[in-house]
Amino acid sequence: MKLSYGSSRLDIYEPNVFAFIQDLKKNVPIKNNQSLIDLSIGAPNRPTPPWIIQELKDQVGNPQFHSYPPPHGSKELRESIARWYKKRFRVNIDPDRNVLVTIGVKEAIANSILALVNPGNGVLVPDPGYPTYFDGALFAGARLLTYKSDYDEDFVFNEIEEKVRIFKPKVVIVSYPSNPTGRMVTSDFYQKLALLSKKENFIVISDLAYSEITFDSLAAPSYLESMTPEMTGIEYFTFSKTYNMAGWRLGAIVGSESLVSPVKLYKSKIDSNVFYPIQLAGVCALEETPDSYYQELKEMYEERRNILCSGFDDVGLSYSPVQGAIYVWLKTPKDMDSFEFTKELFINTGILVVPGNGYSMEGGDHVRVGLVQEAPLLSEAVQRLKEWLKK
């Protein structure tokens, strides 16, 4: 009998779609020697801005930063995040009580759920949604609950309200602009959600990872704008997408002291936070990035969205409204299974996407397509897709 070394808590995880994607890339040949066009990636393809890189270079040699960083994040970065929230959303944040620096958002999700949720508590997450919401809840021993998120905000709010009243979750997670659907909500949605959370006594966690990547002159609101002092909620903040810093692993949890404090305690027991010079580079990102950069960022991704969505329109494929973030949630043709479509698309065109099952329990007829290559390559992808579907 072969001894199993893995913990039984890992039994909840099955081989996932990302293993399927890696297997395609490694073992499945593409027809006609076509090159790979990888649209499965969930990270920006461009480098971190040079002024941020230079700040890291300037700080990394300082020996005073070579020891452990402050467990809750540097004072400089926490204050900078508070200033950013004040400027961007007119929200007053106490950097000492309301901000916790994290090693990116994936860690923030897992640790906040573990710190705030007891086994058996309900965690209501969006479906489709970011996989770590599902994983974090399951790993914490929570009751995983889902609400349908690929609809307009009125439908989604009614769905959340119904699930809250029936199942009484301790936590409700929202994420706008959405990964993977690209949908957004208005501040009215957050105001209604905040009132519901007070009435029904649940915690709201908002993931604001894509706040600065929005299209059609839309601006993403923050959930914290809708909170009054007696309400509780937290928001995930990250440098990964806006500043092309996915590999730097820098983020934060921002919000109610009553929620941030237990996460601080839990986190202090399991890690030592982010290398200090990286945190100072984060300060540089927030303080020194010109306004023109943010506008150019939106225009770049909007152009990419338009190229892909125009191509999908031409071949009769449907998709969710892409109002923000860096993905298109594409319906497969003729309700084709998402794994089958992903494989056939890869073999015949060299285009790699992600099966929707990785983001939704009902995602078997969708795929996620990333806006993560330059415009000419996306145009090439559209042309290959058209030629393949004609056959």
235 within some domain = yes
Q: Of 288, 306, 334, which one is at a domain's C-terminal end?
A: 288
59 within some domain = no
- Residues 234 and 172: their CA atoms lie apart, in Å, by 11
18 within some domain = yes
Q: Of 237, 259, 288, which one is at a domain's C-terminal end?
A: 288
Average pLDDT value over all residues in the chain: 96
What is the rounded average pLDDT of the residues 360-364? 89
Q: Is the pLDDT at 30 greater than 50, yes or no?
A: yes
| pTM, 2 dp | 0.96
227 within some domain = yes
pLDDT band at residue 1 using 50, 70 and 90 as cut-offs:
very low
What CATH number has the domain bearing residue 89? 3.40.640.10
60 within some domain = no
What CATH number has the domain bearing residue 356? 3.90.1150.10
pLDDT tens digits for 270-316?
999 999 999 999 999 999 999 999 999 999 999 999 999 999 999 99
55 within some domain = no
385 within some domain = yes
pLDDT of 2 reads: 53
Indicate whether 272 and 367 sit together in one domain. Answer: no
Q: Of 266, 288, 310, which one is at a domain's C-terminal end?
A: 288
Indicate whether 199 and 79 sit together in one domain. Answer: yes
pLDDT tens digits for 321-343?
999 999 999 999 987 999 999 99
Indicate whether 94 and 226 sit together in one domain. Answer: yes
Indicate whether 39 and 165 sit together in one domain. Answer: no
Indicate whether 279 and 296 sit together in one domain. Answer: no
61 within some domain = no
pLDDT band at residue 189 using 50, 70 and 90 as cut-offs:
very high
Indicate whether 209 and 300 sit together in one domain. Answer: no
Q: How many domains does the chain have?
A: 2
What is the rounded average pLDDT of the residues 83-103? 98
Q: Is the pLDDT at 39 greater than 50, yes or no?
A: yes
pLDDT band at residue 376 using 50, 70 and 90 as cut-offs:
very high
Indicate whether 78 and 18 sit together in one domain. Answer: no
pLDDT of 105 reads: 97
Indicate whether 333 and 194 sit together in one domain. Answer: no
Indicate whether 385 and 328 sit together in one domain. Answer: yes
Indicate whether 96 and 34 sit together in one domain. Answer: no
pLDDT tens digits for 252-262?
999 999 999 99
Residue range of the domain that includes 373 = 8-47+292-390
Indicate whether 279 and 363 sit together in one domain. Answer: no
What is the rounded average pLDDT of the residues 54-78? 97
Q: Is the pLDDT at 250 greater than 60, yes or no?
A: yes
Indicate whether 371 and 319 sit together in one domain. Answer: yes
Q: Is the pLDDT at 3 greater than 90, yes or no?
A: no
pLDDT band at residue 362 using 50, 70 and 90 as cut-offs:
confident
pLDDT of 197 reads: 97
Q: Is the pLDDT at 206 greater than 90, yes or no?
A: yes
Positive/negative CA dihedral, 139, 140, 142, 148: negative
